[in-house]
Amino acid sequence: MFSQGDKADAVFYIQKGRAKLTVVSESGKQATITLLCTGDFVGEESLTAILSLHLAAATAITACTVIEITRTEMIRMLRAEPSFSLYFLNYVLSRSLRTQADLVDQLFNSTEKRLARILLLMADFGEPGEPHMLIPKISQEALGNIIGATRSKVSFFMNRFRKLGLIEYNDRILVKRALLHVLLHDGLPERNAKTPDFSMHPKAMSSAMD
């Protein structure tokens, strides 16, 4: 959709598919900031009073259908269409709360809980459907960039989750409902030899994702 350093003159709306937002340091090191999915906007910095440059790159990681809305048209729609303006405002506020939640997660939660959370979010956990879901193909290095951990730590916990039956993966990762246990509790004890009982009240599952 755009590269880091491009002129910020349009907002993009993802109708279908997944994308990622990445940054590259002056030394050439790349980091994934966040993952984007159907219903997300990206490039909101284009709406600032002073035209700026994109500080990150937005790239598709699956087949995507994307609408490009020029800065001029986006501003016109926000002024002329109250329903769209309210929709976009709700999105921006939700995105802000998500960013705050990501910061809290980074500061206070263990690597294990941060990894469980991002896997559940990538699987759109909580949406109607099956008790598990395949997530887009993503490397352990990219997961490490998102949660602020080394690839070796991600590999360790991914293998642990798999042994406990919380996920399955070969080419893609299959996330199971049972992974919520890691969020509801302080990780999984080292002494666990088998998958614990994950039965819980629906409200408890909902609160774990708030």
pLDDT by residue for the chain (210 residues), tens digit each? 999 999 999 999 999 988 888 888 888 888 888 888 889 999 998 988 777 889 899 999 888 999 999 999 999 999 999 999 999 999 999 888 888 887 787 777 788 888 888 888 888 765 555 566 888 788 888 888 888 888 999 999 999 999 988 989 887 888 888 888 777 766 555 544 344 444 444 444 344 444
Q: Name the nearest CA neighbour of 131 among 26, 191, 202.
A: 202
Order of strands across the sheet with 132-134? 132-134, 173-176, 167-169
User: How far apart, in whole angstroms, are the C-alpha atoms of residue 15 and residue 119?
Assistant: 22
Give me the pLDDT at residue 202, please. 41
Give me the pLDDT at residue 77, please. 94
142 contact partners, CB below 8 Å, separation of at least 6: 20, 32
Residue 175 bridge partners (DSSP): 133, 167
Order of strands across the sheet with 19-24? 30-36, 19-24, 57-60
Give me the pLDDT at residue 86, please. 95
Give me the pLDDT at residue 143, please. 86
Q: Under CATH, what is the fold of the domain 10-106?
A: Jelly Rolls (2.60.120)
149 contact partners, CB below 8 Å, separation of at least 6: 111, 114, 115, 143
Q: Does domain 109-209 have CATH number 3.40.47.10?
A: no
Give me the pLDDT at residue 79, please. 94
Give me the pLDDT at residue 41, please. 94
pLDDT in tens, 169-198: 887 888 888 888 777 766 555 544 344 444
Give the H or E element holding residue 101.
helix 82-108
User: Which runs of consecutive H residues, i.e. helices, occur in 109-150?
Assistant: 111-122, 140-147
| Domain extents in the chain | 10-106, 109-209
